[in-house]
Amino acid sequence: MSKIPLQFRHNGRDVAIFVDGGTNLLVALRELIGDMTPKFGCGQGGCGTCSVLVDGELHLSCLTLAETVAGRSVETLDGLKQGPNLHPLQRAFADHFAAQCGYCTPGMLMAAKALLDRNPSPSRDEVVEAISGNICRCTGYEPIVNAILAAAGGRISA
Partner 1 sequence: MAVTVKTFASASEAAGALSSDRSARYLGGGTLVMRALNEGDVSISTVVRAQDQALTRIDASGPRVVLGAGVTFARVLAERDLAFLHGPARSIGGPAVRNMGTVGGNLFAPSPYGDFTVALLALDATVAVQGGFGTRDIPIEEFLQARDRQAGTLVLSVSCTRPASSEAFRYRKIARIKPKGGAVITLAAHLPVTGGRIAGARIALGSMAPTQIRARAAERALEGRSLDAATIAAAASAASEGTSPSDNALGSAWYRREIVGVHLRRLLSGQE
Residues in touch with partner 1 (CB under 8 A) = 1, 4, 20-24, 43-45, 48, 51, 57-60, 62-65, 67-68, 111, 114-115, 128-134
What whole-number distance in Å separates Cα of residue 1 and Cα of residue 27? 18
Look up residue 69 and give its DSSP letter. G
Q: Which is nearer to partner 1, 4 or 32 (CB)?
A: 4
Smallest distance, Å, CB 28 to partner 1?
13
Q: Which is nearer to partner 1, 21 or 86 (CB)?
A: 21
Q: Which is nearer to partner 1, 59 or 96 (CB)?
A: 59
Q: Which is nearer to partner 1, 60 or 150 (CB)?
A: 60
Smallest distance, Å, CB 129 to partner 1?
6
Q: Tell which residue, 50, 115, 62, has the closest CA to residue 89.
A: 115
Smallest distance, Å, CB 48 to partner 1?
6
SS3 of 11, please? coil
Q: How far is CA 36 from CA 26, 103, 119, 147, in A?
A: 9, 12, 28, 23
Query: Could you please report the per-residue DSSP string of 18-68?
Result: EE-TT-BHHHIIIIII----SPPS-SSSSS-TTEEEETTEEEEGGGSBGGG
**Are 89 and 80 within 8 A, CB to CB?**
yes
Q: Which is nearer to partner 1, 95 or 137 (CB)?
A: 137
Smallest distance, Å, CB 15 to partner 1?
19
Smallest distance, Å, CB 85 to partner 1?
27
Q: Tell which residue, 125, 117, 104, has the closest CA to residue 151.
A: 117
